[in-house]
Structures are given as C-alpha cells and as structure tokens.
Chain A
C-alpha cells in the first residue's frame, strides 16, 4: 500500500509538472524599453507636426508659438511664485473630490447592486447622470454654493461618482454565477459574502469605473476652475483663464501641457499599473 501511494504521488507530480504553465523569467529593462519607446515616438511625431505648423506661419507666432518657446514658458512656470501653490490647490481639489466620489459611488453601487427596487428606480438615473456633461451643473452649483470651493467639489463629485457606481454595478452583474454559488456553498452570507466574494470578483470592472470616474473628475475640475475663480486660491484653471486674458499663448500652452500630464500620470501610471498587475494576477492576459 505504501509503495502504491508512492507511485501515485510520483505520477501526480509528474503530470503536474507536465501540465502546469511555465512561467517565463521577466526581463525588466527590456520590458521597460518596450513599453517606453512607442510613447516617446508619439511625442516626437506630435512635436514634429506642431513645429511644422508653426513654421508655416498659418497663425502669427504670438498666437501659435513653436514648441521651443512653449518649453521655455514651461520652465518659467516653475519659477513663478504662485505656480506651485496653484498646482497644489488643483491637485488637492482633484484628490479630495475624487476621494469623496469614490466613497459615494461605492456605497451607491453596493446599494443598487443589492436591491432590485433601487436598481429599477435609480439604475437608469445613474447611467443618465453619467452621460450628462458635468459643466451643465455649474450654473446650478454656483447658485447654491456661490463662487466657492463647495461649488467645484459638488460638480467634481457629481461627475465622477456615477461612473464609479456604474462600474461596480456592472462588475457585480458580470460575476460568473458559479463563483457566487461556490461562495454560498462555502457559507458566505450577507456582508461577508460582499467582502470575500462579490467585491473581489467585481473588482476589475469597479477599477475600470474608477478610471473613468477619474477622467470625469479631472474634466469637471478644469471646467470648474475656469468658471469659479476664487481670488485667494490660485489654481491651474484660474491661471489658464488669466493667460487667456493676457493673450499669453506660450503660458497657456504650457499650462495645458501640465493639465495633460497630470491626467496622464494618474490614468496611466496609477490606474494603468494597478490594472495590469490585477490582470496578470488573475490570468486575464493569457490570451494575448
């Protein structure tokens, strides 16, 4: 019997090593280069086109400056006394608004995905809110909150929360029924089922919802900062508005580059990295 079970375990481990997937060793430098060069190439193409258009003088250079001038203005930005303060205010508003939106969107998503009545009543409303341009909220927000932080916060949260809630609801809807049954058979009920089965299973789509929510939050914030300018609180949006008022085209474009960069860093570096590692862990990249 002992010999037999030895044979059994040898055969099993033999099969396992034959069948299991071989994990390729990672090569970090090469991987980083593969990921980086297309982005650098894209930047080069854009700058090239921009430079050619500037050379063609379709518009005078004080309206459409060339890349080198804008790069210079970008450098000057950092020596301006209130630029870092403005950057701080904007980033802090974005983070706070997005944070509140995550909390509200998540609670809303859990509530709606749990209850069929809530889903029938508020489900389509949430989708509707998500497609509503958040800038349309500003007149109303300014009426309620005056020209204050509250008005900006209100619209940023309204812009982002529905996308986050929707992502979570979609995620819950798309959980394979077998996983839910497995959870139930193991004894997962109520809140513990949410914590250990439903939320982790819905996480990829929830994350996609957050990513989209961030895009909405960032857009709403820029719209808000252009409209709601508070004297004592310099911000990127306010500086954009001033640059336009002063016809400072290089400064304007430099600020736009800052807006683009912040959006890209959060979207690509933060959410992108999170998403990639999540897909790798769950084996969702295997088909590629």
Chain B
C-alpha cells in the first residue's frame, strides 16, 4: 500500500496527473488550516499560496507558531486542509521528522527496508538490495545489523534519511531534520543532502528555524509570518553549488533574511 496523495479539503477534486508533468510539483492554493479543540479555534495557516517546481529545493523559515510543521503535514496528507487545495499531482511523498523516529525493534537494515515494506510491487530481494545500497550511500553499511540505540544521533538521522529515500518519493519533506545535531555532524549532513538532491533530482521542502541553514541549502527561502502563518516574503538564493556555510555571500543573504525575521517577531511584541 502506498502513501496517499493529500486529500483535498474544500474545492473540486484535484486532477491526478501522473508525476513529472509540466507545472509545479506542489501547488498550494489559498490554504487555511484551523485547529479546533471544542472551546477555541487556532488558525495555524491562513491563505497560503505557494508553488514548488519539480527538482526545486525550497527552505521554509519562520519563528515559532508560523505553521511550518502544519504545512508539511498538510502536503504529506496527514492533515486535511480547512480551506484551499494542495495538489501534488499524484507524486509520492516522503516525510522526515526532527527526530529519527526509527523502530527500536528493527535493525538498521530493516528500518530502511520499512521504507519499501508497504508497497506490494517491491520484492523482498529488491528491498534488501536497495536498503543495502542506501546504507552504503549514507556510509552506514557496517552498521546494518545494529539496532538504532547503538547509534549516535547523527547516524540515526542518516538512517531515517535512508528510510525516507527508500520510499522512492519524488517529493521529500523535511521537518527540522538536523535541528538537534551538533555543528560538525550537521555540516556533513548538509553536504550529503545536497549531493543526494543533485543526483536524484528530488523536490525538497525543508523546514528550519536556522537562517544560515536555509540559505546554505535552498534554491529559495520562503519566510512565513507567525500566528496565523502567512507568506511574508521569499528570497531567491542565487549562489552556486556546492556551497559552504562560511561563504561570505551566504552570510550576506542570511543577514538580510534575519533582519526581516526579527521584524516579523517584533510585530508580536508589546
């Protein structure tokens, strides 16, 4: 059983063209998401419209309460929109969380295989081969028969990345995946994810609260305002690749975005 495309909340049913056709990989149209818990209702997102092109690396940036995680869950089809539509044209979607969320009862190898476990078309042999290939890609082949608890935080997050890649999704959603890692590990994982993205022409939506990280990785940085989350501004990042976190030009763009982010936070101060 494969991951469902997102359910459409309001509006006409989306056309499910096969992936790879012209047009955006993700078309977000006027999306509003309201959480209601009986007594009160919280608006997490309001009137958000955003296109992500196939093969694009988009970083979503915003202060707390801007609905970043909500947006990813909506795109992944875990939540329904309250209004508006999200169309991914039937593309397969993988989602990576801030925590590795590995299954503690499985070995590293079998955790990666879980990425393919629920697709009937994948044979057992291919599942095994593919998982092994992905672990090699992540420099984790010698750890294949270990359990998650024997690995460090960075290694676990790489296993989670391998598992997400095993889904062979065209769209990879990442929810602050490197937020809890130390600087060196994060640096290395930035290089990894950039390389994998270049090689596989994935469409990536990467949520973070780290401005430099967003500029380091994204083709475009989307800034969301807070409470409710709306599109504040977008910054195209016209830097060549591979990039380095220490690049001066990168720092310049990051400073500009930071200033805008601070402005956004000040709006909520008294």
Contacts and interface: CB of A to CB of B under 8 A. Distances in A.
A203 interface: yes
A152 to B, nearest CB: 36
B114 interface: yes
Interface size class of B (residues with CB under 8 A): 35 or more
Contacts, number: 98
Contact of B114 (A19, A20, A186, A203): A186
Nearest to A16: B155
B104 A283 contact: yes
Nearest to A280: B147
A246 interface: no
Contact of B117 (A12, A184, A196, A286): A196
Given A185-B94, A186-B115, A186-B167, A8 B150 contact: no
Contacts of B119: 187
Interface string A4-38: 11001101110110011101000000000000000
A192 B118 contact: yes
Contacts of B191: 8
Given A11-B188, A187-B2, A19 B154 contact: yes
Nearest to A22: B150
Given A20-B155, A189-B1, A281 B105 contact: yes
B103 A9 contact: no
A243 interface: no
A11 B184 CA distance: 10
Contacts of A189: 1, 118
Interface stretch (A108-116, A174-182, A227-235): A174-182
Contacts of A11: 184, 188
A201 B105 contact: yes
B163 interface: yes
B64 interface: no
A97 B104 CA distance: 32
Interface size class of A (residues with CB under 8 A): 20 to 34
Contacts of A286: 149
Contacts of A20: 143, 150-152, 155
A72 interface: no
A185 B6 CA distance: 11
A39 interface: no
A184 B97 CA distance: 13
A16 B151 CA distance: 8
A200 interface: yes
Nearest to B99: A178
Contacts of A186: 3, 114-115, 117-118, 163, 167
Given A186-B3, A286-B149, 6 more contacts: A8-B188, A15-B154, A19-B155, A187-B1, A187-B3, A201-B105
> Which 9 pairs, one residue from A and one from B, show the smallest C-beta to C-beta distance?
A283-B149, A19-B152, A187-B118, A182-B101, A282-B104, A185-B95, A12-B139, A200-B105, A187-B3
7 contacts: A9-B139, A19-B152, A179-B103, A181-B78, A187-B118, A188-B118, A196-B114
Interface of B: 1-3, 76, 78, 94-95, 97, 99, 101-106, 114-115, 117-119, 139-140, 143, 147-155, 163, 167, 184-185, 188, 191-192, 195, 242
